[in-house]
């Protein structure tokens, strides 16, 4: 029986590139599996289809970057900056988001099942859809009331007056949900 391994444009598996500057670089299909990328700069990088599985991205700057269809299974994104990052259809199964900074992250179709330390506050400004797979702890408490409505509120980030109005609604829903969970 023959097995087919995915071939990568560049194999940097397990390498320590902490503090490196990959901003504005094209890293399509690069294999960074198990790499140490602490405080690495990936701002505005094109990393479509990248493999960052089991990599340490603690404190990395991944703002305005394209990681569409990337593999971030069990990646450590603790304290990472993710502003307007494209994670559409990315696999983030088991990724750690402790203190990660989210702002308008595109998570449509992303797999966040088993993600660790992901909070509703991080998701509030993110784009999700019916194909986004959230961790059970988010679905159980928040999806029926807040997360499904979140996609309705965040469709158009350019409409500033609508955005402020929608944020007030989200905050109101969140406080009602928090109160309900507190009483249970």
Q: What is the pLDDT along the chain (184 residues), one digit of tens a residue?
A: 444 456 678 999 999 999 999 999 999 999 999 999 999 999 999 999 999 999 999 999 999 999 999 999 999 999 999 999 999 999 999 999 999 999 999 999 999 999 999 999 899 889 999 999 999 888 644 443 344 444 444 444 445 555 566 666 667 666 666 665 555 4
Residues 6+ apart with CB under 8 A from 20: 37, 40, 41
For CA atoms 75, 154, 134, 132, the dihedral sign is negative
pTM for this entry: 0.74
The number of residues making up the chain comes to 184
Q: How high is the pLDDT of residue 137?
A: 87
Classify residue 56: in a domain, yes or no: yes
Classify residue 153: in a domain, yes or no: no
Classify residue 182: in a domain, yes or no: no
Domain count, the chain: 1
Q: How high is the pLDDT of residue 128?
A: 92
The two three-digit tokens of residue 179, written as one number: 């109160």
Q: How high is the pLDDT of residue 184?
A: 46
User: What is the span of the domain harbouring residue 29?
Assistant: 1-133
Classify residue 65: in a domain, yes or no: yes
Q: How high is the pLDDT of residue 149?
A: 44
Residue written as token pair 């990599």: 55
Q: How high is the pLDDT of residue 5?
A: 56
The CATH number covering residue 65 comes to 2.160.20.80
Classify residue 129: in a domain, yes or no: yes
Strands 101-103 and 10-11: unpaired
Classify residue 152: in a domain, yes or no: no
């Amino acid at each position: 029986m023959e097995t087919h391994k995915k071939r990568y444009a560049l194999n940097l598996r397990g390498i320590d590139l902490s503090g490196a500057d990959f901003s504005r670089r094209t890293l399509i299909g690069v294999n960074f599996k198990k790499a140490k990328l602490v405080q690495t700069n990936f701002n505005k990088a094109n990393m479509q289809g990248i493999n960052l599985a089991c990599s340490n991205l603690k404190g990395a700057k991944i703002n305005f970057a394209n990681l569409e269809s990337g593999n971030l299974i069990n990646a450590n994104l603790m304290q990472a900056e993710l502003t307007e990052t494209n994670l559409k259809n990315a696999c983030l199964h088991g990724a750690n988001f402790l203190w990660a900074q989210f702002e308008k992250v595109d998570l449509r179709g992303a797999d966040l099942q088993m993600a660790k330390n992901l909070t509703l506050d991080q998701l509030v400004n993110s784009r999700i859809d019916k194909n986004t797979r959230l961790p059970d702890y988010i679905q159980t408490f928040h999806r029926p009331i807040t997360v499904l409505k979140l996609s309705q509120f965040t469709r158009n980030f350019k409409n500033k007056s609508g955005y402020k109005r929608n944020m007030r609604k989200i905050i109101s829903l969140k406080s009602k949900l928090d109160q309900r969970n507190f009483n249970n």
